[in-house]
């Protein structure tokens, strides 16, 4: 899954948030827990994760946006 915050990707396949679950704020490994799942307007799966350590929240979609590399 790619983060919605950056809008661009450089990987051929988006990383799944559950693969490493490293918090992008505090850097703690295996700290993210899924708190919500929804669908975007264009039908992509949207998942929200929260860090168990610092409380930061992140949203991930199940594929890169159109036009991303």
Beta bridge partners of 32: 51
pLDDT confidence of residue 40: 84
Closest by CA to 20, choosing from 42, 56, 40, 49, is 49
Q: State mean pLDDT over 18-26.
A: 78
Q: What is the pTM of this model?
A: 0.61
Q: Look up residue 17 and give its DSSP letter.
A: H
- Where does the pLDDT of residue 1 fall: very low under 50, low under 70, confident under 90, or very high at 90 and above? very low
- For the residues 40-50, what does the mean pLDDT come to? 87
Share of the chain above pLDDT 70, in %: 61
């Amino acid at each position: 899954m790619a983060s919605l915050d950056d809008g661009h990707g450089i990987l051929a396949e988006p990383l799944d948030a559950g693969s490493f679950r490293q918090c992008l704020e505090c850097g703690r490994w295996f700290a993210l827990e899924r708190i919500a799942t929804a669908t975007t307007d264009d039908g992509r799966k949207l998942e929200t994760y929260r860090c168990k350590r610092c409380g930061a929240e992140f949203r991930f979609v199940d594929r890169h946006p159109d036009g991303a590399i």
